[in-house]
Amino acid sequence: FFFLNVIKKKRYIRTLDIPPGIAKNRAFSENLFVMMVGLATKTPTIVVGRPGSSKTLAMATVQSNLSSSSKNKRLTELGFEDFFVMSFQCSKLTTADLIQKRWDNAVAFQEKLKRAATNGRESDEKEEKKASSNASGEMATKVNRSVVLWLDEMGLAEQSPSQPLKVLHKLLEEEDRIIGFVGLSDRKLDAAKMNRMVLHQVTQLNDDELLKTAEAIICENSGNNNLHQELSVAVLKITQLYQNIMKDKQTSPFDFDFYGYRDFYSLASSLKYSCNVHNELTNDLLVEAVIRNFGGMTQQQTESFLFPKLARFFGNNLEQ
């Protein structure tokens, strides 16, 4: 109940600097909350969700808000440390030695920051007062700095026959662990690994959340009121089209999810760009945006699977 209440109020979202054009949907908001709590408490955290569920986007947003070079001052006032993120891109070729080496590099850098902080506190008192007389100097001397290791695409490393992620068993159980840890994965890992971390499973967006996400992408900063109204109608159409494509398992030429969230988000962005260029919204632009972002099939598959859906949602004028 507490988790849902915090997510709904989104007070922490208003505190963060989030670039325009990012839809602050439930998946993105939950990912931000879990990651920030994990970093603040140095609790190992893993976020698991299908591609396009805002895992990497949320981590990049957290990084930009907590990095020393771009630190959000409001987070400093709330007591958040500066964080230096050391990333590692996992793959099927990842080895345990590579993960161990990256972990050791993060620990070594954390110790270096700790020594630098100690030397700073032992500096001349007059210089410290001088530095504290302005905001930037105060932040530099009083804010602690921590290191977090970010492992992306952990699910790929899980598929390696050498099982490189087993090295995390001992690393995550260290009682004197001094660095933070955030892992991202498209699929669940085995229980032995996930039991050593706080797991956040990103749930799929429901119909209403999917619609609001598309509206946030397409309708944001739309100065033309008439075009804005037309786009609002188009949002509903492309959302219904996407839902129909994803739920249609009988006529689909694939026995897996060939399309996903990223294709839908790209469709929304493509439609917005086309409308801004042509300053109008036509049925042809709608169909072109769909074909561009939901292609990848053979001509026969496109004609039998995609064209009937286009005719259903955008009209029957598809002779071209």
Q: What is the mean pLDDT of residues 130-151?
A: 64
Neighbouring residues of 307: CB distance < 8 A, sequence distance ≥ 6? 318
pLDDT of residue 154: 96
d(CA 46, CA 247): 28
Per-residue pLDDT at 126 exceeds 60: no
pLDDT of residue 35: 93
pLDDT of residue 9: 53
CATH 3.40.50.300 occupies which residues in the chain? 2-201
**2-201 CATH choice from 2.40.10.120, 1.10.3720.10, 3.60.10.10, 3.40.50.300:** 3.40.50.300
C-alpha distance across the termini of the chain, in Å: 53
Per-residue pLDDT at 25 exceeds 90: no
**Neighbour tally for 15: CB within 10 Å:** 16
Per-residue pLDDT at 34 exceeds 70: yes
Of the listed ranges 32-41, 113-122, 148-157, 208-217, the one predicted with least confidence = 113-122
Of the listed ranges 3-7, 242-246, 261-265, the one predicted with least confidence = 3-7
Per-residue pLDDT at 230 exceeds 80: no
d(CA 51, CA 186): 6
**Neighbour tally for 259: CB within 10 Å:** 17
Q: Which one, of 131, 144, 12, lies nearest residue 76 by Cα?
A: 144
**Neighbour tally for 134: CB within 10 Å:** 10
Helix runs in 251-306, H state only: 261-278, 283-293, 299-301
Q: Kindly report the CA angle at 176 between 171 and 179, in degrees rounded to 5?
A: 65
pLDDT of residue 135: 46
Confidence of residue 257 (pLDDT cuts 50, 70, 90): confident
pLDDT of residue 147: 94
Strand partners, 89: 152
Confidence of residue 125 (pLDDT cuts 50, 70, 90): very low
d(CA 95, CA 91): 9
The percent of residues in the chain predicted with pLDDT above 70, rounded, is 86
Per-residue pLDDT at 305 exceeds 50: yes
Give, for 123, the enclosing helix (H) or strand (E).
none
pLDDT of residue 58: 94
DSSP 306: I
The pLDDT tens digits of the residues spanning 48-104 come to 999 999 999 999 999 999 988 888 888 888 888 899 999 999 999 999 999 999 999
| Biggest alpha carbon–alpha carbon distance for the chain | 80
Residue with tokens 């397409």: 218
pLDDT of residue 179: 92
Distance of CA 260 to the CA centre of its chain: 15
